[in-house]
Amino acid sequence: MSGFVLKGALVEFMPTFLPVPLPNVIVFQYNPETMAHTWSQPEPATSAGTEMSNPLAVKGMPGEEFSFTIAMDANDEIADGSAPTAALAEATGIYSRLAALEMLLYPAGPANTGLVGAVSTAIISGLSGASSGPTRTIPQSVVPVTIFIWGAGRIVPVRVTALTITESLYDAALNPTHAEAQLTLRVLTPAELVAAAADDDVLANFATIAYAYTLTLRQALAVANLANAAESVIGMIPH
């Protein structure tokens, strides 16, 4: 167990016609060596009709982003020999991994607007006649909920805001066999998750729990750091 290393991952929950959404789990083949964790101030809150607003008043939580690069290599998977990943790597290289990453950016409508729903609607319309029945409004498509997992201490709901893939090697069928993917993830705030709950209560609630879990752990670690702070303050006081 001493050689066991946790790997980062992205988990996308894809809405389907099934009662339970299907998870698209993307485990990092290699953990990134560096990661940029960027913060931005929350929006200031102003009070109308007062002479002076509280300069410390804000609306909601601060903005938070993660940026990093992950590497993928099919030859290492093939050499590892683990089925079925080795067989998939032999057949498609890392194309399946890249496709899973790319799908994180594609919007997905509610269950009845997916491929199966579209086919069913077309069949029903063809049988009943295009002009009969009320006109149905197609709901606006939404980006699926994605959870970024980086160890036990960081499990947060995110939206992929940027993805750049650099492919460097190919097999005989022109399947990419080595690539690097640069990702930028924006952490979704509780207010945004409340708005998302109108489209999917189950997934939005799960994402809210993930955000609250990570925030609670961060607060606990900050409290634990008070011991170091107290020692530092004592050292600053002249004797």
Going from N- to C-terminal start, the domains of the chain cover: 9-113+139-236
E-state strands within 29-109: 35-40, 43-44, 58-59, 63-73
The most confident of 40-44, 52-56, 68-72, 81-85, by mean pLDDT: 68-72
CB 160 within 8 A of CB 146: yes
- pLDDT cut 70: percent of the chain above it: 71
pLDDT exceeds cutoff 90 at 176: yes
CB 181 within 8 A of CB 101: yes
- Band the pLDDT of 71: cuts 50, 70, 90: very high
DSSP summary character for residue 36: E
Mean residue pLDDT of the chain comes to 79
Residue 121 is predicted with a pLDDT of 40
Residue 131 is predicted with a pLDDT of 45
Q: Mean pLDDT over residues 26-45, rounded? A: 92
Burial class of 207 by CB neighbour count within 10 A (0 to 12, 13 to 18, 19+): buried
Distance CA 39, CA 69 (A): 19
Q: Which of 179, 172, 22, 46 lies closest to 103 in space, CA to CA?
A: 22
Q: Mean pLDDT over residues 24-41, rounded? A: 94
Q: What is the pTM of this model?
A: 0.77
pLDDT digits (tens, 9 = 90+) for 100-130: 999 999 887 554 444 434 433 443 344 344 4
Q: Which distant-in-sequence residues (6+ apart) come within 8 Å of 214 by Cβ?
A: 153, 154, 155, 156
pLDDT digits (tens, 9 = 90+) for 122-173: 433 443 444 444 444 444 677 777 999 999 999 999 999 999 999 999 999 9
Beta-bridge partner residues of 155: 149
pLDDT digits (tens, 9 = 90+) for 178-216: 999 999 999 998 888 887 665 556 677 888 899 999 999
Distance CA 66, CA 60 (A): 19
Q: Mean pLDDT over residues 68-88, rounded? A: 89
